Structure 1
Amino acid sequence: MTWTLPEPMLTAPVASPDLPPGHAAEPKWDGFRAQLARYADGRVLLRSRAGTDMTPAFPEIRDAALAQLPDNAVFLDGELVVWEAGRLAFERLQQRLARRRGASAAAAARASPAHLVVFDLMRQGSTDLTPWPYSQRRTALEDLFAENGLTAPLTLCPSTTDPDTARQWLTWTSAGLEGLCFKPLRAPYKGGARAWTKYKVRATEDAIVGAVTGPASAPRTLLLGRYDTTGRLRYIGRTTTLPRTTGTALAELLTTTDTHPWAGRTFSAGWGTREVLSVHLVRPDLVVEVEVDVARDAAGRWRHPTRLHRIRAELHPMQVPKFGEQD
């Protein structure tokens, strides 16, 4: 008999990093959500949250599933990650997925090996574990790793019910940890339900406004930069859409110009699209404070949208930390 992987269980955001009573905490990794199925007939499926078959792109995960997991049906849920230079490298995962098959995928696996950080067990043999409470599934998952000697690239995700330990994990943000996931100890695995919660670490940092989208009289978003150590203005990220009143107020502080370090450059909308933005370049003399999370790309830019926190008109652009530095 062939069983079908359930939909991934999802998370909803929360504002507090405090571990709620009756919950376990797990680190929130900066990677790709992935479910791994090892069937009794030897087939292996590594599936993305959206249902994409990623198995050919990550041959080291497929090989580990065949070599290490029991030869009955085992369904695992986890996060695909790549470590590089002591931190998580999300951009390497993106490159891995682009090299989907054959020799190209094998070469990419050698250059940037992935790990599957496993945090849930949904099926073992003929037993469907999804009705079980999290605490019982977690015990079964730990037993699976211990009894079968599972090792890298299969990695057991830490889990704790101790609030102090969970708080300590938040210091791992320098390595690319995004925050914490909170999971009710008594809850079953409900595919597609947002019954887990997540806290994402956010901070405020200063940046220089280098360009805007939308009308110059009422900008919709801000394109932000920082100077590097050579004096070059480097693009670092873009804000979410501004309220109209905020955009109008900002317009009075910005001056459009054709003489600009970014003249002739094009900018992608990013965040899942290759759309080229239509921008107005502005004199890079206004500093703003923005709210950001810890995710960075290979170039050191903020990988997710930032939120405008406040205008820092009292700051000179050269007082802003250099590109690649944090406040």
Structure 2
Amino acid sequence: MLRDLPVPLDLAPMEAKLVDEIPRDGGWRFEPKWDGFRCLAYRDGDEVLLKAKSGKPLNRFFPDMVAALAALPIDRFVLDGELTIAVDGEPSFEALQMRLHPAESRVRKLAAEQPAAFMLFDCLMDADGAPLLEAPLTDRRKALEALFKRLGKAPALRLSPGSTKREEACTWLEDTGSSLDGVVAKRLDGPYVPGERAMLKIKKIRTADCVVGGFRYAEGTEEVGSLLLGLYDAAGRLNHVGFTSTIKHAERPALTRKLLALKGQGFTGDAPGGPSRWSSERSAQWVPLAPELVVEVRYDQVTGGRFRHGTRLVRWRPDKAPGQCTMEQIRPR
């Protein structure tokens, strides 16, 4: 039974703290940061559990991976890794998101058309069934490589590469794009620390010039809380691509007055969505603006033509024409 394994089923995966650069001192192992769903995989006999970083089970959404793990010649393991789906040879976060569908028939259809892969980067139980949480990374990596070798031909599983050379990690960081999300640094002598940011992650930060196509009020106030960002597509439509809320409080009253003077058409292509179960009616409302203001923002990742996370405001660009702010800036290269 899964509950008899020496690694708790409610274990929180070890996480990483975002830092500005790859560490320069020794004692680190560097690995690519894969653009997927973090996953802990448990197996004991016929039972398999895929668990997301949130603690929720993923079996329902990845029946292909459950079947692949259940078919392996080793029937007891606990592995840490990243679920990915390749589209045209590159990992696609959009394809992963599509798996989170309420209809089982739809999920199984997607699983057959675009099967998932599991990128392995840690082993939490050795071949004898002993937990490895207290073991240093060097020992856990040896156990992972030994287990992977015993698996033989397992097309759904991959072994994440790694290096102790900073120069190689720098190369990975420069090459980050649609396939990689950055670089992770792990202490060679470090144990597996559940739920703590005991690793480091370094992302390649990019910038883009965006049109301010609207704004939302800060909750409970009459002042701007976030700027809604837009970029023009090839047809000349202004599409909503994300937001930035890193506005200094002292600047908000004057900025709100400036924005209200520009109330206008707003986005002419994709527009911000309406209320959802995660937002109040007030927070989902937005004020459309004439496309006259341009800001430069920092971002880390793009999914489906939009910034995946909130961006950071770098500066206003009065020298930049709104029509120069195009989708080409954020397309994968």
Taking structure 1 as the reference length, the TM-score comes to: 0.89
The total of aligned residue pairs comes to 320
Report the equivalent of 1:64. Answer: 68
Q: Which deviates more from structure 2 when the two are superposed, residues 311-320 or residues 253-262?
A: 253-262
Shift of 1:269: 7.7
| Structure 1 CA distance for aligned equivalents of residues 249 and 230 of structure 2 | 22
Report the equivalent of 2:43. Answer: 38
Letter in 2 for 1:168: T
| Structure 2 CA distance for aligned equivalents of residues 13 and 266 of structure 1 | 28
In the alignment, does 2:282 pair up with 1:280?
Answer: no
C-alpha distance 63-264 of structure 1, shift in aligned 2 (>3 A): closer
Shift of 1:236: 1.0
| Structure 2 CA distance for aligned equivalents of residues 268 and 17 of structure 1 | 40
Shift of 1:166: 0.7
SS of corresponding position for 1:123: coil
Shift of 1:266: 4.8
Cα offsets for 1:294-321 (capped at 9, x unmatched): x2222x111110111100011111222x
Taking structure 2 as the reference length, the TM-score comes to: 0.88
Report the equivalent of 1:105. Answer: 107
SS of corresponding position for 2:68: helix
Cα offsets for 1:235-263 (capped at 9, x unmatched): 11111342222333434543332434459
| Structure 2 CA distance for aligned equivalents of residues 7 and 145 of structure 1 | 23
Letter in 2 for 1:296: V
Shift of 1:143: 1.4
Stretches of structure 1 that go unaligned for 5 or more consecutive residues are none
Letter in 2 for 1:117: M
In the alignment, does 2:263 pair up with 1:257?
Answer: yes
In the alignment, does 2:212 pair up with 1:209?
Answer: yes
Q: Is the 8 A contact 2:244 2:313 kept in 1?
A: yes
Q: Which deviates more from structure 2 when the two are superposed, residues 79-88 or residues 135-144?
A: 79-88
Cα offsets for 1:267-288 (capped at 9, x unmatched): 3589x94656211111111110
| Structure 1 CA distance for aligned equivalents of residues 186 and 196 of structure 2 | 12
SS of corresponding position for 1:98: coil
C-alpha distance 304-265 of structure 1, shift in aligned 2 (>3 A): closer
C-alpha distance 269-248 of structure 1, shift in aligned 2 (>3 A): farther
C-alpha distance 36-100 of structure 1, shift in aligned 2 (>3 A): farther
In the alignment, does 2:323 pair up with 1:306?
Answer: no
Report the equivalent of 2:26. Answer: 21
Shift of 1:264: 11
Q: Is the 8 A contact 1:214 1:220 kept in 2?
A: yes
Report the equivalent of 2:303. Answer: 297
Cα offsets for 1:95-130 (capped at 9, x unmatched): 2122564x4332110223211111100013422111
| Structure 2 CA distance for aligned equivalents of residues 265 and 155 of structure 1 | 39
Q: Is the 8 A contact 2:237 2:268 kept in 1?
A: no
RMSD: 2.5
| Structure 1 CA distance for aligned equivalents of residues 90 and 275 of structure 2 | 26
| Structure 1 CA distance for aligned equivalents of residues 160 and 19 of structure 2 | 21
Report the equivalent of 1:194. Answer: 197
In percent, how many aligned pairs have the same letter? Answer: 33
Shift of 1:89: 1.7
C-alpha distance 150-139 of structure 1, shift in aligned 2 (>3 A): farther
Letter in 2 for 1:91: E
| Structure 1 CA distance for aligned equivalents of residues 197 and 299 of structure 2 | 24
Shift of 1:23: 0.9
Q: Which of 268, 273, 284 in structure 2 is aligned with 1:267?
A: 273
Q: Which deviates more from structure 2 when the two are superposed, residues 260-269 or residues 300-309?
A: 260-269
| Structure 2 CA distance for aligned equivalents of residues 56 and 95 of structure 1 | 13
Report the equivalent of 2:98. Answer: 95
| Structure 2 CA distance for aligned equivalents of residues 100 and 152 of structure 1 | 27
| Structure 2 CA distance for aligned equivalents of residues 65 and 95 of structure 1 | 21
Q: Is the 8 A contact 1:34 1:48 kept in 2?
A: yes
Q: Which deviates more from structure 2 when the two are superposed, residues 12-21 or residues 260-269?
A: 260-269
Give 1:36-185 correspondences, 5 Å limit: 36-39=41-44, 41-71=45-75, 73-99=76-102, 101=104, 103-124=105-126, 125-185=128-188
Letter in 1 for 2:287: H
Q: Is the 8 A contact 2:239 2:270 kept in 1?
A: no
Q: Is the 8 A contact 1:25 1:161 kept in 2?
A: yes
